[in-house]
Structure 1
Amino acid sequence: MKLWLELHTRFNGSNNGKLFLSMNEAAEILGLGKATVQRAFEDLQDKGFLVLEQEGNWYHRRAHEWRLTTKTTQTRSGKKAATNNWRFWQPEKTKRGSGTDPSASSVVPFENPKTPHGSKLEPVRPVFRRSFGSESEH
């Protein structure tokens, strides 16, 4: 969402398709990690909100050029309507449970299982771990 909003702030009404924003600049401005920004760019493209118009070039210090699909694009022959590619995106269908039983899913039972011999179950005791490095030992 942060990346999407940042790209919108760079849109001035006539520069769609020429919105410059590199991964490094986005990471710095938005206070996110580079891997997070890269995933955000990919996600926005996959869902049809963003299109890469021109790939950037590290050696020529040129950022990627982006187009927002929700905005009109100014071309030499006039304005081109927004493509709104996001309208065609559909989430991937994921399989749940086994293929034979559609109602099967991994659900934690409400009660502890009963043992066949009637022995009493004991609750699990927490394990306390000692933290190292917080106190100096002599």
Structure 2
Amino acid sequence: MAKGKRNDKEGQYTTLHYALLKSEAWRSLSGAAIKVWLELHTRFHGGNNGNVRLSMNEAVKALGISKGTAQRAFVELEEKGFIALENPGNWYHRKAHEWRLTTKRMQTPKGVAVATNDWQKWRAKTKDGPPEYPSPSPTGPPRNPKTDTGSTREPVRPD
């Protein structure tokens, strides 16, 4: 086989960059969330990002997980920035949610939008809150000693 050409028998594939695999967000994913993420990528065909469909029932059947586990996996992937909901589905019309994979570029009416990689911004919450907002003092922000009486008039001072 010539260098740079892949064998058509190999089929499609998805890359897993080290930056993704070593990220705090990826390493915090549950096994079910990783399985759902991989299944979503099998439904991505190069030009359908933002329209990648996978219903909860399809995930249950394809991946051998429960409905509750599938639902938690979708929520986890969305919260950690691996997927974004583009168009909500409709149970009565039998239409699955349409997802955008944040690791892939997306075709828009204005051209090609680069991958947002929202997962890079995710940080685990600590018991005191997110690490990017540490409180300088345990009592909270300083208070203004001036009390507000709710009146816009100046107080009358005795002379």
The bucket for the TM-score relative to the shorter chain is 0.5 to 0.7
- Matched to 2:69, the amino acid is T
Please name the residue that 2:39 is paired with.
Answer: 6
Secondary structure in 1 matching 2:107: strand
Q: 2:123 aligns with which of 67, 90, 103?
A: 90
**Is 2:97 the counterpart of 1:60?**
no
Please report how far the alpha carbon of residue 75 of structure 1 lies from its aligned counterpart in structure 2 after TM superposition. 1.1
SS of equivalent to 1:14: coil
Q: In the alignment, which residue of structure 2 is the partner of 1:45?
A: 78
Which stretches of structure 1, 4 residues or more, deviate above 4 A after TM superposition? none
CA distance in 2, matches of 1:77, 1:31: 39
Higher helix share: 2
Which structure 1 residue ranges, 5 or more long, are not aligned? 96-138
Question: Post-superposition shift, 1:94?
Answer: 2.7
In the alignment, what sits opposite 2:57? 24
Aligned CA RMSD, in angstroms, stands at 0.9
Q: 1:91-128 deviations in whole A, cap 9, x for unaligned? A: 01036xxxxxxxxxxxxxxxxxxxxxxxxxxxxxxxxx
Report sequence identity in percent.
59
Residues paired across the two proteins, number = 95
Q: CA offsets, 1:43-71, max 9 Å, x none?
A: 00010001011110011110000000000
The structure whose Rg is larger is 1
**Which whole-Å CA distance do the structure 1 matches of 2:61 and 2:119 have between them?**
27
2-side partners of 1:52 and 1:14: how far apart?
17
AA in 2 matched with 1:67: R
Q: Which amino acid aligns with 2:50?
A: G
Q: Where do 1:64-83 residues align within 5 Å?
A: 64-83=97-116
In 1, Cα distance between equivalents of 2:127 and 2:35 = 27
Q: Whole-Å Cα distance in 2 between the matches of residues 62 and 8 of structure 1? A: 19
The 3-state SS of whatever aligns with 2:84 is strand
Q: CA deviation at 1:77?
A: 2.0
- Look up the SS of the partner of 2:92 in the other structure: coil
